[in-house]
Amino acid sequence: MKFCQACNVHVSKYSSHKKSNIHKTNCLLRTEFDNVQLIASAFKNRIASYRVNPYSSSIILPELFLTNILNTVCSIIKTLLIKHKSIKVNLELFVLYKLPKNDEVSLKSFNTKYTVVVQSTDLYALFKEFSKTLISKCTEFELSESGWTIESINHLEVNIAKYNPLRAGTTYLSLPTSIIRTKSCLNIYNKDSHCFLWCIIAQMYPTKRNPNRTSSYPHYSTVLNISGMSFPPTFEDIKRFERHNEDISINIYGLEKNNTVTGPLYKTLQRKLVHVNLLFISKQNKSHFVLIKNFERLVHKQLTKHKCKIHLCDECFLYFDSEVKLNTHQCARMQTVLPEVNAKLRFSNPERTQKIPVVIYGDFESLLREYSDKSKSEHVENVQIHEATCFAYYICCESNPELNDFVSYRGQNCAKKFVDSISKDIERLYKILNVYKDMNPLTDADQISHNNATLCYICKNMFSHTDYKVYDHDHFTGKYRGPAHNSCNLNYKKCNFIPIVFHNLSGYDCHLFINELSNVCGRINLIPKNKEKFISFTKFFPIDNKNAAQLNFRLL
């Protein structure tokens, strides 16, 4: 049994004891942050663990507690980032639950996965993601375990662990069979963590006799300057290596699960006298560097099914059938930028999800008439002309059916009649839509719902001290829509155009009235598909000296 000095007890399993709340409580130290203590005994490879306590014992909702400590947690992470450059962070929330039927009390914990945090990470967005996970786990527990209710929020643990972005070279790994068959790589059998250096030595001193043995090469310490480097190397170490060894440049490529080459994961800023291409392979917790001797052979099957030799540019991945073309091509240097761990693709413009108050749907019909002037040119003969004979459009307003209207016309000067009619309707609609209504009085249910809300209904993120909760309402109807961030509310503006959707606008209908539309005062903006077809175009109708109603035609 081992004796724990902090707790003054003998324990049989010291590693389990170190993770217990009793031990952590006995190891607490004061910090520069309010209501935050440092757990002196960090577990395993953690840099530090912090305990963040509630500002008030009256806070029993996890959402409110997490919102209150947002700035504190971000400050802790930011402080450690300055020292360590890149780290891994995980949060663990401790909540005291009570079972009313027998007054049983139990401390439950809910944690997040470790997430990589670097200098460019948005800490506030990261904390919001952590908060969502913790709140979700709390809710799942309450629903699955019948009768448990929250008694109090105990504390939040912020665990900071070491992170090495390129943990390579810890162990020798054999190459996949499909890569070995290409005879494009040299995998040196090393028993240390310096496979990166052995690959560079193999590039500088090629040999035909036992090239996969370290004994076939001079020792790296006699040739290379590796001062200030740590092994296995990180990207920063590789940059430092290139600075200290001015004649050497390095590109590093990765290998997917299906054994296809990807990258470059690391790319040199300038190609130098000795250029080295390395393949980074990994398996479970092991990883390794391999020297790429022939890049064309390595990626040949990925690029083409033809068996002829290719000449590949390893800067932009373009390949050619001759070396002359390779040497004369203009290289557009490229680099693969990998997403961060657990990165998610999100829609970043929630203000564009609101419904448009008014939409107009229209269509034209035409007849083919004989062309009066059948003059011929060398390549063109005028035979028939498309003449608009009728049009119809429907004004649709979901929130105010009184604005709904159907307009149609059949007869002469159809295009001009359409432009005149739509211009009057646009001006009428603009004056109606441009009136901003105050919010209607809230019902008791709406007020209670607003007070209890912890998430913005627009972006689905939590409220904070810097981006607080406000009332959002429809400026057209005055109806309350939901609780929103102040910033989301300001961005959730009225739509500044009235869309008119035509069937086959781009291919046909726009040619029938575009000339008449151009005669009306106000500019036209086009999004062309080619010289004859337009994806959409916008017509600005001036209403007064200050404002302009915007009419937008779009093809569906």
22-31, 114-123, 222-231, 243-252: least confidently modelled range? 22-31
Distance CA 359, CA 400 (A): 12
Is residue 118 predicted with pLDDT exceeding 80? no
Give phi and psi for 161, each to the nearest 5.
-120, 160
Q: How far apart are CA 27 and CA 35, in angstroms?
A: 15
Q: What is the pLDDT of residue 510?
A: 76
Asked if the model's pLDDT at residue 168 lies above 50, the reply is: no
pLDDT at 248: 92
Mean pLDDT within 95-120: 83
Residue 555: the pLDDT is 47
Residues in the chain: 556
Sorting pLDDT into bands at 50, 70 and 90, what band is 167? very low
Residue 345: what pLDDT? 77
Contact 550, 423 (CB under 8 A): no
Which span out of 348-352, 380-384, 434-438, 461-465 was modeled with the highest average pLDDT? 461-465
Q: How far does the chain reach from its first CA to its final CA, in angstroms? A: 75
* Most confident stretch, 157-171, 212-226, 520-534: 212-226
pLDDT score of 20: 62
202 or 120: which carries more pLDDT confidence? 202
Phi, psi of 8 (to 5 degrees): 60, 45
Distances (CA, A) of 470 to 49, 435, 438, 489, 502: 35, 22, 14, 8, 39
The mean of the pLDDT values for the chain is 80
Instruction: Name the pTM for this structure.
Output: 0.40
Confidence at residue 456, expressed as pLDDT on a 0 to 100 scale = 92
Give yes or no for a contact between 484 and 144, defined as CB atoms under 8 angstroms apart.
Answer: no
Rounded to whole angstroms, what are the CA distances from 333 to 252, 266, 379, 485? 14, 13, 46, 42
pLDDT at 409 over 60: yes
DSSP conformation letters of 491-551: H-PPPSSEEEEETTIIIIIHHHHHHHHHTSSS-EEEEESSSS-EEEEEEEEE-SSS-EEEE
Name the residue with tokens 């019909």. 365
pLDDT of res. 380: 65
The lowest-confidence range among 32-36, 150-154, 466-470 is: 32-36
SS (H, E, C) 417-428: HHHHHHHHHHHH
pLDDT digits (tens, 9 = 90+) for 120-165: 678 898 999 999 999 999 888 887 666 788 888 988 999 888 765 5
- Give tens-digit pLDDT for 302-321: 777 777 777 777 666 677 77
CATH of 31-162, one of 1.10.3470, 3.40.50, 3.90.320, 3.30.1490: 3.30.1490
pLDDT at 549 over 70: no
Each domain of the chain, given as residue ranges in start order, spans 31-162, 177-293, 350-371+383-555
Nearest to 478 by CA among 540, 400, 395: 400
Question: What is the rounded distance in angstroms from the CA atom of residue 190 to the CA atom of residue 216?
Answer: 12
Q: Are strands 9-11 and 28-30 parallel, antiparallel or unpaired?
A: unpaired
Tokens matching residue 440:
């209607």
Instruction: State both tokens at 463.
Output: 């409220």
